[in-house]
Amino acid sequence: MRIAVIDGQGGGIGKYITERLRKELPEETEILALGTNALATAAMLKAGANEGASGENAIVFNAGRVDVIAGPIGIVMANAMLGEVTPRMAEAVSGSAAQKILLPVTRGDVKIAGYKPEPLPHLIEDLIKKIKNLIK
């Protein structure tokens, strides 16, 4: 199984997801860190990702080459993360055949109806459970 973790800005969410995936999934699981910038990619690599790449082309190129994409919901929204998610990135992620498991964390003018605010560790726990169920 090949999992892409996508994040931007400082990579904190992606780092936490990567740490948990590395700890809880079989060793042969490949984790690909895709950052909208080098700082985010570096954080995920330090957390245990097998490989990493940064920027628009890296995300566009790899989105269709993985089984699962994990990250904040902003990765499917053009101009999210203070403009770091380009329209091409959002299109590549949302159009990928990979299973997408996204965290409902948003800033600004996007609100998710039906969502009850939860602490980030609880959201990531649910994300990890969903990925583990895909692997079974």
Q: Which residue ranges make up each domain of the chain? A: 2-135
Confidence at residue 113, expressed as pLDDT on a 0 to 100 scale: 86
Q: What residues does 33 pair with on adjacent strands?
A: 5, 52
Write the CA distances from 72 to 26, 27, 57, 121, 136, integer angstroms. 23, 24, 19, 13, 23
3-state secondary structure of 27: coil
| Predicted structure pTM score | 0.95
pLDDT, mean of residues 70-87:
95
Confidence at residue 126, expressed as pLDDT on a 0 to 100 scale: 95
Structure tokens at 76: 């499917």
Least confident of 33-37, 108-112, 120-124, 132-136: 108-112
Q: Which residues contact 12 (CB under 8 A, 6 or more apart)?
A: 43
Q: Which residues contact 110 (CB under 8 A, 6 or more apart)?
A: 77, 80
- DSSP structural state of residue 64: G
Which residues in 73-104 are b (16+ Cβ under 10 Å) and which e? Answer: bbbbbeebbeebbbeebbebbeebebebbbbe
28 — pLDDT class (breaks 50, 70, 90): very high
What CATH number labels 2-135? 3.40.50
Q: Which residue has the tokens 């993360």?
A: 81
Residue 4 · residue 68 · CB < 8 Å: yes
Q: How far apart are CA 93 and CA 59, in angstroms?
A: 8
Confidence at residue 42, expressed as pLDDT on a 0 to 100 scale: 98
Residue 101 · residue 68 · CB < 8 Å: yes
Confidence at residue 109, expressed as pLDDT on a 0 to 100 scale: 77
